[in-house]
Each structure stands twice: as structure tokens, then as C-alpha cells.
Amino acid sequence: MINISGLKDGYVIDHIKAGRCMDIYRALDLDKCTGEVAIIKNAKSGKQGKKDIIKIEGLLDINLDLLGFIDDNITVNVIKDEKIIEKKPLTLPTRISNVAKCKNPRCITCVEQELEQIFFLADIEKKVYRCLYCEEALEKGQ
């Protein structure tokens, strides 16, 4: 067991699927964060067996839509004075821009690369996102 000190003010991004913490680190641009960031891989989890956790010092703006898009099972705890003061609910955003690229070679975004890459939530039950332009389903991990 590794000990990581508690947070005074900041966020704990918990229940990240094991192995995906670096995807989230990159997606949230945490390399640009000037405060402490702890990345915990393969932590023991009752529900998931293993999970990843990210602790971030400081109350910066977190893109919850982006986190919800990556995995809406993630939980975001807001820490103030070393106590959890809020659990931010994550939902699947109805529309998300420039976080994934359409892989359909017949899509207009393949030839006009300055276009915004926009995906919309097409099926909330199956968690299917489709490209706004060509309607091709976005594959997981894309």
C-alpha cells in the first residue's frame, strides 16, 4: 500500500477504470496543472476489483462533460478543508466537441481537417455517440 497525503482543497477523481487514468490526465490537460497531481494506478476496489484514482490539488475548472463522455461511472469528489463537500454527478453529455476524431474515411472531416469534430449522443442506453456530420458511430477508445 502506498500512502499519498490527503488533500486540503482539490478534487479526487475516483472509480476510473483501471488503466485509463493517463487518458484522463491527458484529456483534462493536467500536465499544465501547476499544483500537485497524484496518479494512483490499480488501487484495490470492492466494486471494480482494480481502479485508478487521480488526486488534484487546487480547485481548477474540471470539464465534467468530458469526463462523463469518457466514462460516466467515474465519480468526482470536491474536497475543501480536507473534507468532501460535494460529489459532482457525471452524465453523458448530449454533444461533445474536439475530444475524438471520426474514423470514417468517407466523412467530410477527413478532408477538411479544420472542421470541429462534433459527436452527439445518439442512444443513451447503449451509450452510443455518432459523428454529427456522417453519423458514423464512435467506437470505444477512439
Partner 1 sequence: MRHLLNPLDLTVEETYDLIKVAEDIRENPDKYCEVAKRKILATCFYEPSTRTRLSFESAMIRLGGQVLGFSEATSSSASKGESVSDTVSVVGCYSDIIAMRHPKEGAALVASMKSAVPIINAGDGGHQHPTQTLTDLLTIHTYKKKLDNLTIGVCGDLKFGRTVHSLITALVRYPGVKFILVSPEELRIPESIREDVLQKNNIPFEEVETLEDVMPKMDILYMTRVQRERFFNEEDYIRLKDRYILDMDKMKYASDDMIVMHPLPRVNEISVEVDSDPRAVYFKQAQNGVYIRMALIMMLLGLKA
Interface residues toward partner 1, by CB under 8 A: 104, 106-112, 114-115, 123, 131-137
CB of 110 to partner 1, least distance (A): 7
Q: Are 131 and 109 in contact (CB under 8 A)?
A: yes
Q: Are 33 and 60 in contact (CB under 8 A)?
A: yes
CB of 106 to partner 1, least distance (A): 5
The nearer residue to partner 1, 23 or 136, going by C-beta atoms, is 136
The nearer residue to partner 1, 16 or 107, going by C-beta atoms, is 107
Nearest to 119 by CA among 104, 108, 129, 106: 129
The nearer residue to partner 1, 17 or 130, going by C-beta atoms, is 130
Cα 119 from Cα 132, distance rounded (Å): 5
CB of 118 to partner 1, least distance (A): 10
Q: Give the H/E segment covering residue 70.
A: helix 64-70
CB of 121 to partner 1, least distance (A): 14
The nearer residue to partner 1, 84 or 108, going by C-beta atoms, is 108
CA atoms lying within 13 Å on the CB side of residue 66: 15
